[in-house]
Amino acid sequence: MNFLGSFQQLGRAFMLPMIVLPGAAIFLFLGQLPWGMIGLPAMSGYLQTASEAIFTFLPYFFAIGISLGLTGNALAAGMAALAGMVIYVSITGSADLKIEPTVFIGSLIGMISGFSYERFKNLRLPEYIQFFGGPRFVPLFVSAVSVLFSIAMVGIAPYIERMLVELGEIVASGGGFGVFLYGFVHRILVVFGLHHLVSHVFWFQIGGFETADGSMVYGDLPRFFAGDPTAGYFMGGMYPTMMFALPAIAFAIIHEAREDLKPKIRKTFLSAALASFLTGVTEPVEFAFLFVAPYLFVVHALLSGVIMWVTYELGIRHGFSFSGGAIDYFINLHLATKGWLLIPIGIIVGIVYYVLFRWAINRFRIPTPGREEGSQLDEWAGDIPYRAPLILQAIGGKDNIIQMESCITRLRLKVANERLLDINALRNLGAAGVIRLGGGNVQVVFGTYSELIRGEMIKSIQRDQAQVLFSSPMQGRMIPLEEVPDPIFSGKLVGEGVAFIPDKGELVSPVKGEIIHVYPTMHAVGIRTPEGLDVLLHIGIDTSQLGGKGYFNAVVKEGDEVLPGALLVKFDLQRIRKESKSIATPMVITNSDLVRSWRFAPFKAVKKGQSSVMSVVLKERNSGGEGK
């Protein structure tokens, strides 16, 4: 599956230049307004020109955007792509045959620039010409390739133009089944984040249309905005799915949640439903059932294809600049054919989806969010600065990250060691799913907060603050220290921290450190970290009187060095539960004066040894050792 890892980066790169398309659609829509009535008759022309300019220079946007997306925003790659496009347009424009740049050409030059940068960025030349080595060699190399490529294109352009038009005719000859197949494959590829690749072919390559000024445009999307009445069937059928089907699934999940969890689930999934309806961002809803019921996702993909087939057969043509949400629907409705039919179709689709998913969740006991073991999709935008360091720890720390990018709904990572990923911790921190593509390529789905999370993680890496990361010392449920039924701990007189309600009778080390104290009763253990923090783990409340009766069995002694996850104490959970005040187990730092700030993961179920349950940033110290 290593090739999937390469494709994930390419898929994200294709998304970068598409962020300019909504601007073109908005300008085109605004240009239809009666500006003359308010004394601005020229405004319509200006807006129309702005929209046309974006589509005219779209190949340049794709060339530069893809090159930057493939290289982590390397300026040398972007400059190389721009130089390549200028050379291509100049050489082909001087030929007798009129050859216009297309998105395909821009994408190809962008990929050449991106791959060339990765290949030559560390190139060493003889010292007297080393100025042209490294990244500076990339624009030179791409320019040379572009010259040869442009000359070749002058000769083969007529055949390629004919091939693209014929390919569009072949696809069109497939009729509704071809559209169904596209809709099904597109939905399946969402799982891997590769749907942009197949969409790129249909939206920007297949089919040709000659505009009024005699120029040719290719692909379903540019043809739709250029006024081609046959364009829009690879986009229009997505509106019912994104505006109605996915929100219906969200409502089904809400109504099947447990009553005690329903308020929280309602808040989360109403937001997810609104995001899908307005903007066409579907992953927060889809990933809520993808991992617990993948067969249901296949049914969803099949239905998505069927919906596109139906809209095709009804002669509906509609398009979008970004995705099939209500914003694009209404902005571009003036260009659509029978676009109004998508609303009643969508309502029927929504009802079918709602009934189907409620029945399936009930019938097959699918653990969607809000049910017994459902995954969590929390509303936690305000917590991002606090959770980002914990997410970084769950990924394996900054040293495990080779490359980190983000798209609309997911972090796209390349890690050095996939075994360092803590999937449970990532889910606990709000991830809807984690997808391994092989070769260290991983996607972590956080929904529309992904870019913000990446930004906070980068800040955390750049700060490089002295901090100590804590894993879970036991399997069970993490609770705030204030909920411990003991005024000494809940009042934080011993120290700040968190507590756990154990499910199993094992206590493990949450940190690396030295055992500095094992109480004679073995109900509590003290650990000192290399940074000087003293961590107290206290099993249960009022359990000191249970010592010597076989309740606790420590497997470490004072002076032992331990690593996170190392077994410290085995204990008889059932007997302690019956004979003590509480089984709540505090984990506190007794010298909290050394800590500048605290970060806690959500208070929910945790696994033994699970990373990223707590993180503390230490105060800076002067030469005398006093906190500043």
Residues annotated as part of the active site? 407
In this structure, the number of other CB atoms found within 10 A of the CB of residue 285 comes to: 26
**Cβ 281 vs Cβ 408: under 8 Å:** yes
What gap in Å lies between CA 457 and CA 398, rounded to an integer? Answer: 9
DSSP per position, 238-294: HHHIIIIIHHHHHHHHHHTS-TTTHHHHHHHHHHHHHHHHHH---HHHHHHHHTT-H
> In Å, what is the CA distance from 74 to each residue of 64, 70, 80, 121?
10, 9, 10, 10
Strands, sheet with 410-415, edge to edge from the N-terminal-most edge strand: 401-406, 410-415, 441-445, 433-438
Local structure of 405: helix, strand or coil: strand
β-pairing verdict for 410-415 and 401-406: antiparallel
Cα–Cα distance, 584 to 69 (Å, whole number): 49
Q: Do 229 and 335 meet the contact criterion of CB atoms below 8 Å apart?
A: no
Exposed / middle / buried, residue 492 (Cβ in 10 Å: 0-12, 13-18, 19+): middle
Cα separation, 115 vs 229, in Å, equals 38
| CA gap 538, 545 in Å, rounded | 13
Do residues 193 and 450 make contact, with C-beta atoms less than 8 angstroms apart?
no
With b for 16 or more beta-carbon neighbours within 10 A and e for fewer, the 177-211 pattern comes to ebbbebbbebbbbbbbbbbbbebbbbbbbbbbbee
Distance of alpha carbon 205 from alpha carbon 216, whole angstroms = 12
